[in-house]
Chains A and B, each alone.
Chain A
Amino acid sequence: DAGVTQSPTHLIKTRGQQVTLRCSPISGHKSVSWYQQVLGQGPQFIFQYYEKEERGRGNFPDRFSARQFPNYSSELNVNALLLGDSALYLCASSLTGYSGNTIYFGEGSWLTVV
């Protein structure tokens, strides 16, 4: 079975642009979460979605938004990119998103803002 898949794997954007990152969860998983990992630090929680509804949001500005589709895939959008948005963006999936669930991560999308 395929794991969590993310696209694109690498991308370079200019300050002020917008970016969309995509994630497909493991088959059967209904919860998707997004994390930002800046170089040298642990991942930071951005969003969690379950059954197409936002369940949780981390401490990120409104420039960050996300959505989950009927097939449980998800997109993360970041508007008005800043240099500080350069990071590895990780998508994670789990069955329901409850705290006891095992959470599986994708390989991530490396975003560089120049």
Chain B
Amino acid sequence: AQSVTQLDSHVSVSEGTPVLLRCNYSSSYSPSLFWYVQHPNKGLQLLLKYTSAATLVKGINGFEAEFKKSETSFHLTKPSAHMSDAAEYFCVVSEMYSGGGADGLTFGKGTHLIIQP
């Protein structure tokens, strides 16, 4: 079984300062990990994904995340926050059973990122 824990329900930073959104996961198999962003009343947009290649993953809009197997973490960072980054962020894990079945994506509860001017 797979699960995701996003450690902060809300994060508030000032524009121009670094962003850190924390995520821990649990998976019985080698997982794929994703970060998605959801702006108000919009669908989900993929920021980045990890699929067992490089542990430091670069995504769109200056975001990146580091896969740390020993810590079962996949934290999302950005060096300098922009007002347009204000949104809901979801950490997501996916695994596939060896028999080909699927549990789909498992989402965390989300972190609401607030950007202060």
Contacts and interface: CB of A to CB of B under 8 A. Distances in A.
Interface string B25-42: 000000110101000001
B108 A102 contact: no
Interface in A82-114: 90, 92, 97-100, 102-108
B101 interface: yes
Instruction: Name B's interface SS.
Output: strand
A35 interface: yes
Given A98-B96, A99-B94, A102-B49, A43 B44 contact: yes
Scoring A48, A99, A103 by chain B CB atoms within 10 A of each residue's CB, the highest score goes to A99
Contacts of A97: 102
A58 B104 CA distance: 8
Given A90-B43, A108-B43, A103 B96 contact: no
A45 B1 CA distance: 13
Nearest to A110: B41
Contacts of A102: 46, 49
Nearest to A91: B43
A105 B95 contact: no
Interface residues of B, number: 27
A70 interface: no
Contacts of A58: 103-104
A103 B46 contact: yes
A86 B105 CA distance: 21
A42 B104 contact: no
Given A42-B90, A90-B43, A90-B44, A103 B105 contact: yes
A42 B42 contact: no
Contacts of A46: 104
A17 to B, nearest CB: 24
5 contacts: A41-B109, A42-B109, A43-B44, A56-B104, A105-B44
Interface of A: 4, 33, 35, 41-48, 55-56, 58, 90, 92, 97-100, 102-108
